[in-house]
Structure formats: structure tokens, C-alpha cells
Structure 1
Amino acid sequence: MKTILWATTLAVASVATMPIHAESNLSDLNTRLAAATQVVHEIEATPDGGVPDYIVSKATCIAVIPSVKKAAFIVGGSYGQGVVTCRTPKGWSAPVFIRLAGGSVGFQIGGQATDLVLVAVNDKGFQDLLQSKFKLGADAAAAAGPVGRNASAATDLKLNAELLTYSRSKGLFAGIDLNGAVVSQNTDDTNVFYGGTAKPFADILHGAVIVPTGAKAFVRTVAKYFHSVK
């Protein structure tokens, strides 16, 4: 038992001490946006997979975290950098950058890098993403999201949740339990992306900031797949 607890402590510490404040340059951020664009395209282009239509129509924000890395072999300490866009009256917003870190056994996602997607399905989920930091399952109700374009709302899970969570690994797309993972704003990268000028996350995600050229492909891809379903 002491060995397991010690391993858990080391895994959490390894995530906590990873270089999360390492400065990214604009090229890094454009690469991250390109990877997030590809994740959305590949998930939603899957004929029998993807996010169900009734969730697509409810989505208020989409967070994409490409290639989450594991920090430990047995205990699931993991870390990733991602981007978020939110639905506004004028369309999907310019993006902001976030970090995700987890240090619990429940966040075990396999031996390879895994793409994660978080879908906010109501205004509370939107407000969660405006916080500087929150824990899934504690500060924000989260649930593994259902999969399948035509999945029935009658059998759903989870619309009591604020955020639905998904993973994609080796081409397979499925809901995942991310309770215990911590999502935090990456203000340094967001400021770099917007030319070194500090812009509040709320302003960007409410649509007050024009989508930069480097983010247009990502925002267009999200808008293509997360449209209003009639």
C-alpha cells in the first residue's frame, strides 16, 4: 500500500513540475491549432462515430487538446495543451489556449498520446471555461460523452453534465472519464498569439475579438461540424 501511495505521489508531482509555463512562440501555437483542426476533422468525418447531432446543436464551447502525454506508466498523470472556441451570436469565437493536467488513476488513457475533446453543452459549461482554473467533476460537472451521429437523446447520459468529454486514440473515438483533471487558462500563450497584448478570455470567447488568420481554419472546421441541427 505504501508503495502504491508513493507512486501516486510521484506521478502527481511529476505533472505539477512539468514545464507548464514554458513560453511558446507563434509558430508553436499555429502548429497546435493545426493539430486541433485535424482532430476535429477526423472525429467528425467518421461515418459511424462523432459527436451526436443533438449534442452538436447544444454545444456552447469546444475545447480540443491534441496529443495528451502521460507522465507516469502506472498512475495516470497526464498533461496537454489545447485550444477553445465558443459559440456566439455571430458564429464561433476566436480561440484561447488552455492546459489540462490530471494525476488520478481514473485519468489512465493508455500508453500512447491521446487526443481529448471537451464539449460544453450549456451556459454553465461556457462559464466554467471562463474561469482561470477548474477541476472536472468538482468545480464542473463532467461526464464521458456518448458517441454516434444518431445516438438518441432519450438514452442519453449526461445532459445534466456541463462538459462532455471524449478521447481519440489510434483512430478510435469514445467518451472518457476525466473527473479529477484540472483545466486552466494559458494566458501566456494566448497573449503571444494575440501579439503580446493581454486580452481577457471572456472578451475573446464572447466574440469581441476578430479571429486571427492563424486560427481561421480551426474555427471554420468547428463551425462546419458543430452547426445548428434542424
Structure 2
Amino acid sequence: MKTKLIGLMCTMAMGATAVVSQAQDPKLTERLNNASAVLHEVMDTPDKGIPQGILSNAYCVVVVPAYKKGAFVVGAQYGQGVATCRTPRGWSAPVFVRAEGGSFGWQIGGQSTDLVLVAMNKNGLEHMLSSKFKLGGDASVSAGPVGRNAAADTDASMHAEFLTYSRSRGLFAGIDLTGVVLSQNADDTRSEYGANVPFGVVLHGGQATPGNAVNFVHTVARYFVVARAAQN
């Protein structure tokens, strides 16, 4: 019975909008699929993943697969990601974002890492709707707690607009992303939807989910619903 209930809740969390079927850019489809894979790999290890207390209260989820740092170029950190936000009708269709800058002392050479950012309140959502903002400057940010630490969950969610995580070489941990700039990728978003749809329209649930994005949105919705159920 509980499994059926969670399945029903997942369907509802996907949102009430229709699914759009149209020719999609293979590079964007790959990015969406990679983002789904990152979330699966992170959440399939619950004792080391994003705590359920964090995910159950998320307003938006951003995934940047393979955020890269150049070997010799100063300030060459760069990544392309996707984001979805929670609406009264479920999780929104995705938008495409860029992540630039920041400095990770433990990154060496051309190593890349996957990033996950969780917006924890309405202020974080409002920043997501802006064209560009800096973590740790325009928006407060904190390295997110990992695992089943309820006390850490509560403390972190009360003090930061964004909680941030990284996955590199199989290891997953909270990370300080102060200085990273997150901006809208209007070109990729326009390519995905075939029109210049504003970020606010998409993230508020006013845009149907394209067929190539269903897996990503469903993945976020699934783990959100499971986290919510675990809190009850």
C-alpha cells in the first residue's frame, strides 16, 4: 500500500502539464540524462547522500554534470546544468543554466566534478528567476550536510538559501561554492522549447515538459516524494 501511495504521489509531483513531443537537441538530451544519472548515483547511497530532511523541503534542484576546471587557465571553472523548481502542481519543466568561477582547492589539473545545488526557501527560488547571481554574494550558500543527520539538516536549511554538494571520483560531500556564478542559458532553453520562453514561466510551471526532460523531472519528483514520505 505504501509503495502504491508513493507511486501516486510521484505521478502528482510530476505536475499536471502535458508532455511536449518534438525534435530535441541531442546535446541537451544528453545533459538532462546525465543530470538524472547524477541524482540516482547520489541518492542510491542514502547514508552518504542528500539528507531526506533537506530534499523534502527543497524549492529548486540544480544539477551541473561534469563541472570542469582547466589545468593551467586561471578562472577556467565552467559547467552547464539543468534546474527544476517545485510548483503547486508538481515539479516544473527544466531550464538550462551555466555555472562559472569558484575555486576548489582539492581539484587538480583537468579533473571534473558533478555539482548539485538545492534552493531551500523562496529567496533561493527568486534568485533562480534572475538572469545571473553569485553564490555567497547575492545568495547565501552553505556546504550541505550529508547522510541522516537531522540536527545538521535543520541548522543548514534555516541559514542558507542554497545548500551545495559535489560528487567526484565516486565520493559525495557538501562543498563550499562561494564565488560560483549561476546564470540563465537562454540559448539552450530556447532551443529546448522552440521559443524564447521566460525562465519565470518555465520554473513556475507554465511550460509543458518536453519528452527528453521527463526522466530528469521524474527523478527529482521521485526522490522528493520519497523524502516527504519518510518525514511523516
Fold in common (TM above 0.5) = yes
In structure 2, what is the equivalent of residue 179 of structure 1?
178
Q: How does 1:140-159 map to 2 (within 5 A)?
A: 140-148=139-147, 150-153=148-151, 156-159=154-157
Residue-by-residue CA offset, 1:159-189 (whole Å, 9 max, x unaligned): 2100000000011110000101111000000
Tell me by how many angstroms 1:155 deviates: 6.7
**Separation in 1, partners of 2:73, 2:106:** 11
**Separation in 1, partners of 2:153, 2:190:** 42
**Separation in 2, partners of 1:51, 1:154:** 11
Q: Any conservation in 1 of the 2:145–2:174 contact (CA below 8 Å)? A: yes
In the alignment of these two chains, the number of paired residues is 202
Tell me by how many angstroms 1:84 deviates: 0.2
Tell me by how many angstroms 1:47 deviates: 3.5
Tell me by how many angstroms 1:151 deviates: 1.2
Shift in CA distance, 74/189, structure 1 to aligned 2, threshold 3 Å: closer
In structure 1, what is the equivalent of residue 69 of structure 2?
70
What amino acid sits opposite 2:123 in the alignment? K
* Structure 1 runs not aligned, ≥5 long: 1-24
Aligned-partner SS, 1:138:
coil
**Separation in 2, partners of 1:155, 1:212:** 33
In structure 2, what is the equivalent of residue 110 of structure 1?
107
Q: Any conservation in 2 of the 1:68–1:80 contact (CA below 8 Å)? A: yes
- For the pair 1:86 / 2:90, whether they are aligned, the reply is no
**Separation in 2, partners of 1:202, 1:174:** 30
**Separation in 2, partners of 1:47, 1:63:** 19
Q: How does 1:1-230 map to 2 (within 5 A)?
A: 26-73=25-72, 77-102=76-101, 104=102, 106-111=103-108, 112-148=111-147, 150-153=148-151, 156-159=154-157, 160-195=159-194, 197-227=195-225, 228=228, 229-230=231-232
Q: Any conservation in 1 of the 2:84–2:203 contact (CA below 8 Å)? A: yes
Tell me by how many angstroms 1:75 deviates: 5.2
TM-score, normalised by the number of residues in structure 2: 0.82
Shift in CA distance, 179/208, structure 1 to aligned 2, threshold 3 Å: same
Q: Any conservation in 2 of the 1:94–1:207 contact (CA below 8 Å)? A: yes
Q: Any conservation in 2 of the 1:78–1:107 contact (CA below 8 Å)? A: no
**Separation in 2, partners of 1:32, 1:108:** 26
Shift in CA distance, 109/126, structure 1 to aligned 2, threshold 3 Å: farther
Q: Which has the higher contact order (CA 8 A, sep 6+)?
A: 2
Q: Any conservation in 1 of the 2:33–2:216 contact (CA below 8 Å)? A: yes
Aligned-partner SS, 1:158:
helix
Tell me by how many angstroms 1:109 deviates: 4.9
Aligned-partner SS, 2:125:
helix
Residue-by-residue CA offset, 1:120-145 (whole Å, 9 max, x unaligned): 01111111110100000000000000
* Structure 2 runs not aligned, ≥5 long: 1-23
Alpha carbon RMSD of aligned pairs, Å? Answer: 1.7
